[in-house]
A = this chain, B = another copy of it.
Amino acid sequence: MKNERPLILITNDDGVSAPGIRALIEVMATIGDVVIVAPDKPQSAMGHAITINDTLYLNKISKDTDAITEYSCSGTPVDCVKIAVHEILKRKPDLCVSGINHGSNSSINVIYSGTMSAAVEAGIEGIQAIGFSLLDYDWNADFEQIKSFIKTITLEVLKNKLPEGVILNVNFPKLKEKEIKGIKICRQANALWTEKFDKRQTPQGKDYYWLTGEFVNQDKGEDTDEWALHNGFISIVPVQFDLTAHHAIQNLTKRDWNE
């Protein structure tokens, strides 16, 4: 990098026109050269899905300024990162940021989240990566309150780098800037969604279902992201893509699997 401005790839899962990504672009343009490759439609809850049985389209979006290159992509958030890194960008970006998501990606939500999966994909590719989410599902959520924190966190990551194989999952409470108490490094709370399927009938009398659910936090720990957010802090969870339950290897190795 040296005297160059960092090259920053931006994506999200709410789609290229969401106010959340617009706010993120605004912050990142003050830090580096920005390339945007984001889904052409909402792709929430797509997890780490990729498109292998269908074609992908890229659409270059014209901008007033040459400083920002912007594409919409017909694929998932993870597709966006892959096509950006391997087809669009001439060099590996210095950073990939994803979001700002309209809604929480704390605790178990990390696993369903397109926003976080895009950041994780960048991490797999060896790129410093951060996912940003605000605990406000409103399309007109007030992203102004968190812009200065996003800039601080991003500059810290660019300066000191993340440990290898680590991606940051950053969630912001829905508070005014002055009410936010600070930043806490956390672990993912042990929580889950209890589903309730809303069963309905089509006008033709065929049953169908909507997936709905209730968030249940089973974790009383004060070192979790849920605790931090409930207590007015920004939560940062370091996330990894090595899913091995290393602590279980010894227990399982002792068993007789070949009997």
**Which residues of B are found within 8 Å of A51, using beta-carbon distances?**
45, 211
Measured between C-beta atoms, what is the minimum distance from A257 to chain B in Å?
A: 4
- Chain B residue nearest to A199 in the complex (CB): B87
Given A87-B197, A211-B52, check contact A245 B238 (CB 8 Å). yes
Complex contact B188–A243 (CB within 8 A): yes
> CB of A31 within 8 A of chain B?
no
Q: Chain A: interface residue count, which band?
A: 35 or more
Given A48-B111, A257-B183, check contact A124 B192 (CB 8 Å). yes
Complex contact B185–A252 (CB within 8 A): yes
27 contacts between A and B (CB under 8 A): A44-B53, A47-B117, A48-B48, A48-B112, A51-B211, A55-B209, A55-B210, A56-B208, A56-B209, A57-B209, A82-B197, A86-B194, A86-B195, A87-B195, A87-B197, A108-B124, A111-B241, A152-B259, A160-B255, A162-B248, A165-B245, A187-B249, A190-B242, A236-B252, A240-B244, A240-B245, A243-B243
- Where the two chains meet, the residues of A that have a C-beta atom closer than 8 Å to any C-beta of B are 42, 44-53, 55-58, 75-76, 78-79, 82-83, 85-87, 108, 110-112, 117, 120, 124-125, 152-153, 156, 160, 162-163, 165-166, 182-183, 185, 187-188, 190, 192, 194-197, 199-200, 206-211, 236-249, 251-253, 255-259
